[in-house]
């Protein structure tokens, strides 16, 4: 029950923000609303309280195509302003538009969420080495 309430609150906050013209209801591209819900659901409970991580509204990149192995995904990056080295989210939106894998760092501790694994973690290393411009991992 607690989980459902948190999703409802996050959705309400997102809708309220959109109604106030402060930004989109989700930081994900249009059509990825289910992937956004899956991303929020996959975050550790304590991480759902971090606005920058939930909304990706501080330092962030525009969504872009990225070849992840044999699959083309939509990639987003977001981080906490002034703390990008220790607080960041690398999000991979899958083609089904319902799933999101993420490699997050909170206070310097890396976590794999949404079913992300070593492939996504290695991709983040490659993206970091290319200053975020690599087009394939």
Instruction: State pLDDT tens for residues 21-65.
Output: 444 578 999 999 999 999 999 999 999 999 999 999 999 999 999
Q: What pLDDT is stored for residue 69 in this prediction? A: 93
Give CA separation, 104 vs 63, 79, 81, in Å. 17, 9, 15
Q: In this structure, are residues 97 and 32 in contact, taking their beta carbons and an 8 Å threshold?
A: yes
Which pLDDT score, from 0 to 100, does residue 4 have?
36
Q: What is the sign of the dihedral through the CA atoms of 122, 128, 129 and 130?
A: positive
Q: What's the pLDDT tens digit per position in 76-99?
A: 999 999 999 999 999 999 999 999
Region 2-129: CATH code: 3.40.1420.10
Q: What is the pLDDT of residue 24?
A: 54
Domain ranges for the chain: 2-129
């Amino acid at each position: 029950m607690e989980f459902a309430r948190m999703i409802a609150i996050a959705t309400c906050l997102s809708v309220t923000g959109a109604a106030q013209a402060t930004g989109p209801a989700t930081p994900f591209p249009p059509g990825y609303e289910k992937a956004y819900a899956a991303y929020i659901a996959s975050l550790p409970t304590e991480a759902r309280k971090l606005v920058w991580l939930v909304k990706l509204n501080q330092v962030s990149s525009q969504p872009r195509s990225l070849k992840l192995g044999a699959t083309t995904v939509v990639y987003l990056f977001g981080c906490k302003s002034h703390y990008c080295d220790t607080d960041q989210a690398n999000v991979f939106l899958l083609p089904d538009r319902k799933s999101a894998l993420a490699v997050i760092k909170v206070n310097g501790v890396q976590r794999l969420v949404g079913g992300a694994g070593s492939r996504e973690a290695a991709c983040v290393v490659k993206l970091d080495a290319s200053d975020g411009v690599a087009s394939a991992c």
